[in-house]
Amino acid sequence: MSEENMNQQNDAEQQAQNNQPVFDIVRVYAKDCSLETPNIPEIFQIQWKPKINVDFDAKPKAVSEDLYEVDLRVTVTCHNDDKVAFICEVHQAGLFIIRNVAPEASEFLLSGTAPNLLFPYAREHIASLVNRATFPPLNLRPLNFEALYRARKMAAQQNSENNNETMNGLSQNTEPQA
């Protein structure tokens, strides 16, 4: 094979590699964290019967052309005997490269896959903060952000279809009723 043919073949292979879909983690980091314990030391005098509430969301944003940040916020509020024992909030973030991916797949990667990758870090961070405040161990159960994403999309689609049916029904019923 001639040198020119080999160069053309190498160029074609490199171009094919450049067009491959890419999803990669660049960095995972704690963006912000806080632990509030408004009723210490009184809360330790009450029998421990905690009521735990976990709230979370993931916010993706473009940083540059192929670079995205996903900020996963997890807030744990613990009440004991109607008093706040603690409020722990962690913003666990990550930088991700996404290239040559369809917009729908990119949305899924940023709203489902990336939070799945970040959540174990947030869980560990929360457990550590709560433990350092000498509360009993708190181990949050795993969450499946990909399943949550799919469920949200499905609900949004059903709401859209229901709204379209209602709009169509209203537009067809133009005669006044007695």
- Write the pLDDT tens digit of every residue in 84-120: 999 999 999 999 999 999 999 999 999 999 999 999 9
Looking at the domain assignment, is residue 116 inside a domain? yes
Instruction: Please state which of the ranges 10-24, 28-42, 157-171 shows the lowest mean pLDDT.
Output: 157-171
Looking at the domain assignment, is residue 134 inside a domain? yes
Give the per-residue pLDDT at 172: 46
Which residues span the domain enclosing 55?
25-149
More confident residue, 44 or 165: 44
pTM, two decimals, is 0.80
Give the per-residue pLDDT at 154: 93
Looking at the domain assignment, is residue 169 inside a domain? no
Looking at the domain assignment, is residue 171 inside a domain? no
Looking at the domain assignment, is residue 121 inside a domain? yes
Looking at the domain assignment, is residue 10 inside a domain? no
Q: Read off the pLDDT band of 11 (50, 70, 90).
A: low
What distances in angstroms separate CA 83 from CA 19, 36, 47, 74, 143, one per listed residue? 56, 13, 12, 20, 27
Rounded CA-CA distance 31/84 in Å is 24
How many domains is the chain partitioned into structurally? 1
Closest CA to 60 of 73, 50, 47: 73
Judged against a pLDDT cut of 50, whether residue 177 lies above it is answered with no
What's the CATH number where 54 sits?
3.10.420.10
DSSP β-bridge partners for residue 2: none
Give the per-residue pLDDT at 2: 63
Looking at the domain assignment, is residue 87 inside a domain? yes
Percent pLDDT > 70 in the chain is: 82
For residue range 29-48, list pLDDT tens digits in order: 999 999 999 999 999 999 99
For all residues of the chain together, what is the average pLDDT? Answer: 89
Looking at the domain assignment, is residue 11 inside a domain? no
Instruction: Please state which of the ranges 2-11, 27-36, 47-56 shows the lowest mean pLDDT.
Output: 2-11
Q: Read off the pLDDT band of 15 (50, 70, 90).
A: low
